[in-house]
Structure 1
Amino acid sequence: MSDLEARLGDIVRATPDLMHVMTTVRGLGLSDWRVFSGAVYQAVWNDVSGRPAGYGIKDYDLGYFDPDTSWDAEDVVIKQVAAAFEPPFRDIVEVRNQARVHIWFPDRFGEPYEALPDTDTALSRFVAPAFSVGVRLEADDSISVAAPFGLQDMFDMVLRPNPNRPLARGWDKVVASARARWPELRVEGV
């Protein structure tokens, strides 16, 4: 485990709402799950910038992988996850089967999207390396980390486009939203 992975684990453990989400989800037995995106990088940005845990976090993105790509199967999991939480978490834990993303992504975002083989591969397609981090609370209480671009951009509060895909539609909106909450972010490579 790298120093940054250990530091990320410490930050996650010090973020009560994120730990609550991961502890609850771990008990559901979902396959190949991760909490990723804003709930992770924003927890780090709060720590790095001295803001309180939970500041600016709007939701908790939860990905899992089930080869059954039917809407009915995903809907069962969405309802299972919702039933496991009390408000406000019931309304802010957003669940998506990563095996289904290629079905709806082109219509929603106007870009092609190849089918994924697992949840961790999804991280390599996020709009920025700083966003491409997922965590999971394992059965032994360790926190596993998936970060195809590493963790440096996230800890440095740097936003740069994912080098493995075209600039995402809505990039400027993503940057503006993040800067509204963390004005010290640096944007590079655009």
Structure 2
Amino acid sequence: MDADGLCEALRRNEVLVEVLRRAEVLGLPDWYLTAGCVFQTVWNVVTGRPPTEGIRDYDLFYFDAADLGWDAEDEVIRAGARVFADLPVVVEIRNEARVHLWYEDRFGVPCPPHTSTEAAIDSFASTTCCVGVRLDGDRWHVYAPHGLDDVAGLVVRPNPVLAPRAVYETKTRRWQEQWPALTVLPWST
């Protein structure tokens, strides 16, 4: 699968496209819609399911190192809540410049400060998840440092850059229940 094929699959998820269109109006720096809503839409399309099936939330990442305080991020989250209020999904908005401030408390391992939204996407538990998209008008921007073959091929590959093994294994168990056709590669020791 190439970037055009990805965008074609994602266009079938009308909710995802609407989140992308509305995200533009927030004017967030270095933003991407990423994680499950992207690769799970592809999995649904490839396996003949409704495009939104099994997607828990829509992750909107941005990067703003100018103010690392919670209040600045919370202001963006509240603005997003207004923009996405009438959509039938949860849109999780996070400033990836702040992740290092809370990551260890949540996941048990330290996270060095990210330098961009792309760096944050690079650190997902699976390389298959390392995909982000955004719209600039009608122009799609795709970030996929590991390519898209695993996404389209239903292969989940570990990415031991940051996330602990337990995170990978917990996520892949849930994903295999929802998408049994997945091939989950074991965590490398």
* Partner Cα distance (1:10, 1:60) in 2: 18
Residue of 66, 81, 85 corresponding to 2:64? 66
CA contact (8 A) 1:129 1:154 kept: no
Match of 1:22 in 2: 20
Superposed counterparts of 1:42-61, under 5 Å:
42-61=40-59
* Partner Cα distance (1:92, 1:75) in 2: 16
* Partner Cα distance (1:118, 1:149) in 2: 17
Match of 2:133 in 1: 135
| Deviation by residue 1:115-163 (Cα, 9 ceiling, x = unmatched) | 0111011111000011110000113x11111112111111111112105
CA contact (8 A) 1:127 1:162 kept: yes
Match of 1:149 in 2: 146
Following TM superposition, by how much is the alpha carbon of 1:164 offset from its aligned partner in structure 2, in angstroms? 3.4
Deviates more, 1:6-15 or 1:92-101: 6-15
Amino acid at match of 1:157: L
* Partner Cα distance (2:100, 2:87) in 1: 29
Question: How many residues of Structure 1 are paired with residues of Structure 2 in the alignment?
Answer: 186
Percent identical among aligned pairs is 41
Match of 2:177 in 1: 180
* Partner Cα distance (1:166, 1:115) in 2: 14
* Partner Cα distance (1:37, 1:175) in 2: 13
| Runs of 5+ consecutive residues of structure 2 not aligned to the other structure | none
Match of 2:107 in 1: 109
| Runs of 5+ consecutive residues of structure 1 not aligned to the other structure | none
Following TM superposition, by how much is the alpha carbon of 1:52 offset from its aligned partner in structure 2, in angstroms? 1.1
CA contact (8 A) 2:126 2:168 kept: no
CA contact (8 A) 1:161 1:167 kept: no
Give the RMSD, CA atoms, in angstroms: 1.5
Structure 1 runs (4+) deviating above 4 angstroms are none
| Deviation by residue 1:63-120 (Cα, 9 ceiling, x = unmatched) | 001111100100000000001122444x600010000001000110011111011101
Is 1:80 equivalent to 2:75 in the alignment?
no
Following TM superposition, by how much is the alpha carbon of 1:21 offset from its aligned partner in structure 2, in angstroms? 0.4
